Chain A
């Protein structure tokens, strides 16, 4: 098993802080994972090990839970996570074309991150802005009434800003 490379003490302390907010009760697993995911953008193997020990749940079970819920990821996402809504309202309004465009431009698939770590793509189910359908988000920014052209220019702008 490859060792996690992020094991610096600062992160460990932060993780401990998260853990200590919760009682050592197995039912807190998903709550803790949500916090870790939010804090680090993914759940590292080291974090899994700590959680497994803290709650006395086997690592296989922790892994089973992480891989069950789509919000949890085992790898860091890109600096810019582009999430295209594939909820029904957005689908009916053509969000698939937006997603296809993103995949086409970035040359990666849903759930993957570009080699430079800049972008990752996610297909989400309803971000709750059906009035703006179709919708995509870049990190927390929501783009409504989206078109393939719109997402293309958003990516272009980010690339320019990042000098890539």
Chain B
């Protein structure tokens, strides 16, 4: 147990110790080597880098350098990332075997390891993280602590104003005032639908009930989105603090965080954070003698996308199949075990402490008229700088794709960006200047979603992409209501038929009619949005569908059944490799003469094209 005074003392002490993390000119003989411990970098062996660094430091008897495992820096494409502070030298794509050199050259000799410095998209060498174009248009609020602190040390969180917002709420603000700040900030739910957070809090506060709950939705299911995971991995205490503030505001003393079991690092770090907060008396009974109690528990999901839907999540916390409940009643009135329950997602919570500390006005000054603050996106797909970005609302897609994302690799052309995952839509090039906010994205047939942003180049078939999302939805539909259970399956069947080259023109009308009715008649958000990928691609890429149907051709060349392999006689050297690798004997030709493919025999397996050393075979 720590008193407020003791916590203040920790804050002051650790803050000065950590000066070198934020101030390049900090007067210190110490150095901190920060190594990204996010899931991406961990997958590429950052834990081995850490142990190698420690080993090298020990072997060389260096004691004034600490190796710190941090949360995600954001630029996953360049991972594993290592940063040396205070001088702020940024090493990219570091391998475990580079650790020794970093210690010997950089630490011992003061010589930056040039070959490990990061190259920007334009091939210019960048020494400092924030010199990268990737970071220039970003504003990190929710991700503020990620890459800065050791998420497994509560002291470091406290040092950077951690739990100060809670203190302010408990001692200076009454619940209504807290809710007013949140309302005035304009913060809206970051889970996808964008419901005003303050309103949600006030509904839960007004709801009658002796027991209320606060729930954090960390069931980030959109495939290709990892914002929430990174926040939990990088700054778990921000979420704990925010949930406690929420509990204080709505009158709840018990919280649950529902996390995907597939996020082991996040789960582990969050548990450590809970334990530390309990040890400090921040979580528990009569916190800081204010009479406020708050207890927090982790509940693991088990692999069901639909559990990201708030009522399905509640069912799952209660130990059942994650099948959504009909709304109304809304969780604010009847949630966990029928009690008033506040549910927000991780990113929403992560903004709260900053909003409380810096004020509603500060937060609402960022963003657009209707969408305030920042939004974190997981930028992925055919874009150079894959990673996690946090931008002010109103930033255009073009800025994200080209300025932050560094554009499309391999000299290919931008074709579409997809936001909102399986619930969202595809955005074509003509809408690239759309500012990112809830309303604008909705207007062009997509949605903000939780923050997945997948970029696709011109080699991607939009029909196939729609099919991919539908496969996902069919797989993840809970099966409760008819339109989603059977309707999405029928949509997928029609898409499959089109991709197989058996589509008929009337299929598009059928598909559209089915899609619209599934949207209207489904029980929950999953079903109501599942047709979006189809509807948006039908809207913007209808010709591509028609090419599949009328010309039996896949313009992007992705649909296997429609692929027509063809040997370019100009490039073919007649080596015969394709002929030998064709499993059905569809290729004929004399040695040193151009070969030909018999289309009737060809099964479109692509073996010939992948074996051709001269790239003479194309689809």
Contacts and interface: CB of A to CB of B under 8 A. Distances in A.
| Direct touching of A and B (C-beta under 8 Å) | yes
Interface of A: 25-31, 33-34, 37, 55, 57, 61, 64-65, 68-72, 86-93, 124-133, 135, 142, 144
Contact of A133 (B75, B321, B386): B386
A132 B380 contact: no
B393 interface: no
A130 B386 contact: yes
Contacts of A55: 319
Interface of B: 39-40, 43-44, 75-79, 221-226, 229, 261-263, 299-305, 316-322, 378, 380-382, 386-387, 418, 421, 452, 454-456, 460, 465, 468, 472, 478
B303 A31 contact: no
B303 A128 contact: no
A89 B381 contact: yes
A27 B319 CA distance: 4
A129 B454 CA distance: 14
B319 A30 contact: yes
11 contacts: A34-B300, A70-B302, A71-B261, A71-B262, A71-B303, A88-B421, A93-B381, A128-B226, A128-B262, A130-B386, A132-B76
Nearest to B471: A86
B223 A26 contact: no
A63 B225 CA distance: 30
Contacts of A125: 221, 223, 305, 472
Nearest to A130: B380
B40 A132 contact: yes
Given A86-B472, A124-B262, A128-B263, 15 more contacts: A26-B319, A30-B319, A37-B302, A69-B303, A70-B304, A71-B302, A72-B303, A91-B224, A92-B460, A129-B76, A131-B75, A131-B77, A131-B79, A131-B386, A132-B44
Given A31-B300, A135-B43, A130 B226 contact: yes
A70 B303 contact: yes
Contacts of B303: 69-72
A27 B318 contact: yes
A72 B224 CA distance: 22
Contacts of A93: 381-382
A87 B224 CA distance: 5
Given A30-B319, A129-B39, A68 B304 contact: yes
Given A88-B381, A88-B454, A125-B472, A31 B318 contact: no
B62 to A, nearest CB: 30
Contacts of A34: 261, 300, 302
Contacts of A25: 319
B154 to A, nearest CB: 24
B224 A130 contact: yes
Contacts of B318: 26-27
A87 B223 contact: yes
Given A68-B322, A89-B224, A130-B386, A30 B40 contact: no
A130 B378 contact: yes
B317 A144 contact: no
Nearest to B258: A30
Nearest to B39: A128
Contacts of B225: 126
Nearest to B81: A131
A27 B229 CA distance: 24
A28 B263 contact: no
A127 B43 contact: yes
B224 A126 contact: yes
A10 to B, nearest CB: 25
Contacts of B455: 92
Contact of A69 (B302, B317, B386, B421): B302
A135 B224 CA distance: 12
A139 to B, nearest CB: 13
B321 A68 contact: yes
A29 B304 contact: no
Nearest to B380: A89
A89 to B, nearest CB: 3
B380 A133 contact: yes
Contact of A92 (B78, B263, B299, B382): B382
Given A65-B320, A69-B304, A144-B44, A31 B299 contact: yes
Most chain B CB inside 10 Å of its own CB: which residue of A25, A87, A135:
A87
A8 B317 CA distance: 32
Contact of B44 (A71, A86, A142): A142
B43 A64 contact: no
A87 B454 CA distance: 11
A38 to B, nearest CB: 8
Contact of A65 (B40, B76, B229, B321): B321
Given A91-B468, A144-B44, A30 B299 contact: yes
A89 B454 contact: yes
Most chain A CB inside 10 Å of its own CB: which residue of B76, B302, B418, B454:
B302
A56 B320 CA distance: 13
Contacts of B465: 92
Most chain B CB inside 10 Å of its own CB: which residue of A71, A93, A131:
A131
Contacts of A135: 43
Given A68-B322, A127-B43, A130-B40, A86 B223 contact: yes
B322 A127 contact: no
B43 A144 contact: yes
